[in-house]
């Protein structure tokens, strides 16, 4: 069911418009406003599927009203209704954001439903293309993100393994008896293993499959493993790691 707003001060033309629409779309709802201000007072961001605006209004010309409506409702199809021989106005209307226009010619009644259908479908295609472009941008961002994570994982993990290896050698050295130093080494080891957990999570992101959703492509990440499910060797000497 289409919800259509018609801004038209001529009662006969408004009746003709309503009849032409209901003949083609019997379940449509049409709200008629005799002035631009009457419509602006009642305008809501999501209220109409389509808006038809007569150019020759008593309080404002249709181009001015069209510009105001387009600023508030950028995605709603808008049709400007002009008089016979108003091709220049129609051109200006299209430049100002009108989706289409209708001239009040002899076949005005027959033209109305056809132009409404075209304008509505045209706007739906514009919105669909916009969503597809947004999904494509999102996919590009994911690709950049995984590349960045791969680099970070490499740059962090390599020196981290060197730190852990040397700490473990010192802790396993039976001749190393400085208790204060051993305690500090265990703190370093605990901190390094926390970082190691995150590097494993980054590796999971790199290999995560991409799932297409209505909101765009998304990574299917595994559940995060916290401190109780650490990856790697247990701390040396069987001593629990201290939190820092």
Look at residue 124 and tell me if it is in a domain: no
Q: b/e per residue, 94-117, with b = 16+ CB within 10 A?
A: eebbbbbbbbbeeebeeebbebbe
Q: Identify whether residues 171 and 94 lie together within a single domain.
A: no
Look at residue 33 and tell me if it is in a domain: yes
Predicted confidence band of residue 65 (pLDDT cuts 50, 70, 90): very high
Q: Identify whether residues 234 and 138 lie together within a single domain.
A: yes
Q: Identify whether residues 72 and 138 lie together within a single domain.
A: no
Report how many domains make up the chain: 2
Domain coverage including residue 24? 3-105
Q: Identify whether residues 140 and 225 lie together within a single domain.
A: yes
Q: Are 235 and 241 in contact (CB under 8 A)?
A: yes
The residue length of the chain stands at 244
Q: What tokens appear for 42 in the block? A: 């009642």
Look at residue 123 and tell me if it is in a domain: no
Report pLDDT digits (tens) over 165-218.
888 888 888 787 788 888 888 899 888 888 888 777 766 665 656 565 665 555
The mean predicted confidence, pLDDT, of the chain is 81
Q: Report the CATH number that the domain containing residue 51 is assigned in CATH.
A: 3.40.50.2300
Output the pTM of the full model: 0.57
Report pLDDT digits (tens) over 31-45.
999 999 999 999 876
Cα separation, 244 vs 235, whole angstroms: 15
């Amino acid at each position: 069911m289409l919800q259509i707003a018609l801004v038209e001060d001529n009662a006969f033309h408004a009746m003709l418009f309503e009849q032409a629409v209901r003949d083609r779309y019997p379940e449509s709802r049409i709200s008629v406003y005799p002035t631009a201000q009457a419509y602006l007072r009642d305008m809501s961001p999501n209220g109409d599927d389509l808006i038809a605006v007569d150019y020759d209004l008593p309080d404002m010309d249709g181009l001015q009203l069209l510009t105001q409506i387009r600023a508030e409702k950028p995605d709603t199809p808008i049709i400007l209704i002009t008089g016979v021989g108003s091709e220049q106005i129609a051109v200006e209307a299209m430049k100002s954001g009108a989706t289409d226009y209708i001239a009040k010619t002899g076949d005005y009644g027959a033209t109305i439903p056809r132009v409404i259908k075209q304008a509505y479908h045209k706007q739906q295609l514009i919105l669909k293309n916009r969503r597809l472009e947004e999904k494509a941008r999102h996919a590009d961002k994911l690709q950049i993100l995984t590349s960045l994570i791969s680099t970070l994982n490499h740059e962090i993990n390599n020196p981290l393994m060197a730190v852990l290896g040397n700490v473990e050698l010192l802790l396993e050295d039976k001749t190393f008896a400085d208790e204060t130093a051993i305690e500090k080494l265990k703190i370093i080891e605990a901190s390094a293993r926390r970082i190691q957990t995150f590097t494993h999570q980054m590796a999971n992101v790199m290999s995560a499959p991409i799932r297409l959703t209505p909101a765009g492509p998304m990574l299917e990440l595994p559940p995060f493993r916290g401190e109780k499910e650490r990856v790697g060797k247990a701390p040396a000497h069987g001593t629990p790691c201290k939190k820092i």
